Structure 1
Amino acid sequence: MGYRDAHAVDPTLRTAGRHGPQVVLALACAAQFMVVLDISVVNVALPSIQRSLGFDETSQQWVVNAYALTFAGLLLLGGRLADLYGRRRVFLTGLALFSGASLAGGLADTAGLLIAARAVQGLGAAILAPATLTVLTSTFPEGTRRTRALALWTAVGVAGGTAGNLLGGVLTEYLSWRSILLINVPIGAVAIVLALRFITGHDRPTARPRLDMAGAVLATLGLTALTYGIAQSHAEGWGAPVTVVSMLAGVAALAGFVVVEARFAPVPVIPPRLFRARAISLGNVVMLLAGACLNPMWFFLTLSMQNVLHYSPLQTGLGFLPHTVVTILVAARVTPWLMRCVDSRTLIAIGALLAAAGFVWQSQLTPDSGYLFGILGPAIVFSIGGGLLNTPITTTVTSGVHTSDAGAASGLMNTAKQVGGALGLAILVTVAGSHTATPEALATAYSRAFVVIAALMVVVASLACILPSQRDERRSPEPTR
């Protein structure tokens, strides 16, 4: 199957009405916002959840981990489902699962029920996240219109990540911890109604779909075990038996997955032909490294503001507003315009170097730093860098992909980002490695983490230079209506 018609809109996917493409874009962005938001929104509410449902100190982490493990473990499979069973059907299924699990979690009266609901939420997210990207790349052909759509999708994802702690704190303080889950229900219901109206047509394959069960099981087990092992390294250490066994089992399962996909699977979960394209193979390495930097930095920024500068949770959430605003403006407005006249790999390299400079500045934070030079200044620099590089990476790893493989490519990209973030956080926590409670010692520990993040961003810039050249020069036709 070739890639020469990869820029064309999938003829099986239609959008109803004159404003159909815009509504589809809004739906994809809203779904992506919910998925990313629910990774972090429960963090601030954990003490309230613990008191309400009687969690002990050990089990309350599973309110977070149940979502994270199923989400990361099932992303590859979730992406391929859209190719095999139709983007519209899978998008709606993911929305229904996510919204229904949010309702169950918000009404849960036992710890076990809440954990189970969070696991099903993660399943819905793993189906929904790659489907949002697949629907966009199938609705908007390669070129300026797709770039603008992906830029907005990327910016909304960033907003969801940064808004989690602030929204969770506000909802928990003024309503209840249950509201952080129940808020997804009306949003999901409206999105389902709009998707039924505006994503029309029959996009199911003409041939009977065949799911590669062996590959699906190995991918899920491998990613889940690997993610669990990485998560356990935070509390148990890298040498702990549970960490070592989990990570070895994950690597072994993923190695088996590679063999099955390359030699035995008639319809692979991840078609090996995707990796023949340098934009996809190298681009996902860049995505993994960028995720290892940009995802954990929120963790260390939160700790820096609360433990070093002694900000309250609400002050910390408000302190993140410049990061969010600058990243969204650059990603959604500036970057699409620049991509019309500047090579994508150049933008990725420039963005990574700017981000590295911002993180070096951030590493200078001390307990005596004020907000202006301790937080706001570095935020502007590395947020501009992050806004410049995110959209070009996304367009790179989804370019030249035939519509029949769009879901697989989307799942691969999301997996690279999530695994990179988990692995980066585990490594950076080890690098920081301070158990001293004084603000000075904590500032030094967090400084080490930001210096390592800066170094990794320089590696991202170096790898970007050998990505295929891409420039968003041509005018794209209107998406198929």
Structure 2
Amino acid sequence: MTVTDRTRQTPAPPGRAAPRTGLVLVACCLGQFMNVLDASVVNVALPVIAGDLDFDRHNLQLVNNAYTVVVCGFLLLGGRLADLFGQRRIFLCGVALFTLASAVGGMADAPGTLILARAFQGLGAAVMAPATLTVLGTTFTEPGARARAYGWWSAVSGTAGAIGVLAGGVITEWFSWRWIFLINVPVGIALLAAVRWVVPETRPKGEGRAHRRLDLPGAVTVTLGLMGTVYGISESHVHGWGSLRVLGPLLAGAALLAAFLVIQARFARHPLVPLKIFRNRSVAAANLVAFFGIAALFSTFYFFTLLLQQVLGYSPLVTGLSYLPLSLGMALGGWGIASVVPRTGPRPVLLGGLGLSAVALFWLARLDAGAAYTVDVLGPAVLLGLGMGAVLNATTNAATAGLPAHQAGLASGLLNTTRQLGSAAGLVTLAALSAARADARVSAGADTTDALASGYGLALTWAALFAVAGLVAALFVPVRERSSTPQGTATSLAA
């Protein structure tokens, strides 16, 4: 995905005023809020959904993974579509698909229907999310204004996940789990109207068909490769790692991902990911940090929710309220660190944030049926929020450092894809480990609640190790050095 130097805006038609930038910002942030919120709002309702639709416990994580894997696979292609066929047109298509899939999910009467609806929600999100960044890049052309707009967009991305858990609890407790999907319908319709009215259209330079080149082989291979890998991991706790049901998908996924890299390096005339971008050390390290950090954070949302409900016996509403300290911590961690990163550079912030997160996750992994919220849950929830809020802010800074303006969109799309991949891979890996531990404890005669607590504790321990892996990756983020500009505010990265 690229920014303004590769697109041109179509003038507003007669009778229509120039785009109002404040409303454009609101529309883009609302679109991103819907994307991220929907990835987490389902978590609180999962136990209720499982009982209502008769889900098998081992397949319950597919409700989340059907969304995240499709988003991950198509996110970069979605950005390319916005570049080639117009930002408003693609934004509208993404919102429409997301809204329609939400309606189907809310009316689902079988596990397969809900999983399919979640997959199409993911496809809509993959088209919508990069379009929001493209719109911001073409609307806010002054550097300071663009930085503030991207700051709001990043803040929404960071806090929507935690807010979604609270919203999911309230909706599930007071209404029905179906409304966590159906609420998107009126919001989506309002967003469609807003995008149609306030978002300007763009066209690429040279509108002939020769310029509309899509890397479809790349998109297909990376999507199928991720799906095969995720499916193989999710089946490992049922059939064992040596089973063909597991090894087959894993090997096929690895081969497809390898083919994707070959296509990007040698054959794609317009690659989804020009591999030379990874020569930028800050970009490469920041994406590695993002992978492990999001694998830890969003996996924690899933297991923390199940632990609160199935081990501690909290209702969906109380579970949602229990997330408030984590949500506030993420907001404070993200906004409070915003003025620090330009002075210190992202590396110290990443190290501190990931260190706090690892401590919090090791602490949460010790919870059992006798845990008290104020003594055993509140402290690590606040620490995790503060740590991950700081990490989300600093990774965005590091992932775009030292790049020319025309690669800013590509860097943003790559970072979002890495985050989605971390979320999907982390969840299925930890779900497999958790289920295997719980099954083994039940087979050994343990109480079901104790077995679940042991399984969720193992998953949270591995989430902490993911945070530690991210901390190690953060050591490779270049040090930020101040340059000698007249104002003394510009910075550069140095090894």
TM-score range, shorter chain: 0.7 to 0.9
CA gap 1:30/1:275 in 2 versus in 1, 3 angstroms = same
Larger RCO (CA within 8 A; separation ≥ 6): 1
CA gap 1:380/1:403 in 2 versus in 1, 3 angstroms = same
Range moving further from structure 2, 388-397 or 82-91? 82-91
Q: Provide the residue aligned with 2:470 in structure 1.
A: 460
Shift of 1:184: 1.0
User: Residue by residue, what CA displacement relative to the aligned partner does 1:398-434 show, whole Å, maximum 9, x if unpaired?
Assistant: 3455565555433322221122122223333455523
Task: Kindly tell me the number of residue pairs found equivalent between the two proteins.
Answer: 470
Equivalent pair of 2:43/2:301 in contact (CA under 8 Å):
no
Cα RMSD over matched residues?
Answer: 3.5
User: Residue by residue, what CA displacement relative to the aligned partner does 1:198-223 show, whole Å, maximum 9, x if unpaired?
Assistant: 32142434252111222222222222
Q: What is the one-letter code of the residue matched to 1:312?
A: S
TM-score (norm: length of structure 2) = 0.82
Q: Provide the residue aligned with 2:76 in structure 1.
A: 76
User: Residue by residue, what CA displacement relative to the aligned partner does 1:336-395 show, whole Å, maximum 9, x if unpaired?
Assistant: 222232212221111111222222333343433321121111111121111111111023
Q: Provide the residue aligned with 1:3 in structure 2.
A: none
CA gap 1:369/1:363 in 2 versus in 1, 3 angstroms = same
Q: What is the one-letter code of the residue matched to 1:12?
A: R
1:99 aligns with 2:99: yes
1:3-18 superposed matches below 5 A: 12=8
CA gap 1:387/1:12 in 2 versus in 1, 3 angstroms = same
Equivalent pair of 1:13/1:199 in contact (CA under 8 Å):
no
Structure 1: which 5+ runs fail to align?
Answer: 1-5, 477-481
Shift of 1:438: 5.3
Specify which of 364, 367, 391 is matched with residue 365 of structure 1.
367
Identity of aligned residues (%): 41
Equivalent pair of 2:361/2:461 in contact (CA under 8 Å):
yes
1:165-314 superposed matches below 5 A: 165-207=165-207, 208-233=211-236, 235-314=238-317
Equivalent pair of 2:68/2:421 in contact (CA under 8 Å):
no
Q: What is the one-letter code of the residue matched to 1:99?
A: T
Q: What is the one-letter code of the residue matched to 1:200?
A: P
Q: What is the one-letter code of the residue matched to 1:175?
A: F
Equivalent pair of 2:329/2:385 in contact (CA under 8 Å):
yes
Q: What is the one-letter code of the residue matched to 2:281?
A: R
Equivalent pair of 1:225/1:250 in contact (CA under 8 Å):
yes
Q: Provide the residue aligned with 2:347 in structure 1.
A: 345
Structure 2: which 5+ runs fail to align?
Answer: 442-446, 483-487
Shift of 1:267: 1.0
Shift of 1:110: 6.8
**Aligned partners of 1:316 and 1:246: how far apart in 2?**
36
**Aligned partners of 2:478 and 2:223: how far apart in 1?**
31
Equivalent pair of 2:41/2:180 in contact (CA under 8 Å):
yes
Shift of 1:14: 8.8
Q: Provide the residue aligned with 1:479 in structure 2.
A: none
Specify which of 319, 322, 325 is matched with residue 325 of structure 2.
322
Equivalent pair of 2:82/2:90 in contact (CA under 8 Å):
yes
Q: Provide the residue aligned with 1:335 in structure 2.
A: 337
Equivalent pair of 2:45/2:169 in contact (CA under 8 Å):
yes
Shift of 1:297: 1.3
Q: Provide the residue aligned with 1:434 in structure 2.
A: 438
TM-score (norm: length of structure 1) = 0.84
**Aligned partners of 1:393 and 1:257: how far apart in 2?**
25
Equivalent pair of 1:363/1:451 in contact (CA under 8 Å):
yes
Equivalent pair of 1:359/1:451 in contact (CA under 8 Å):
yes
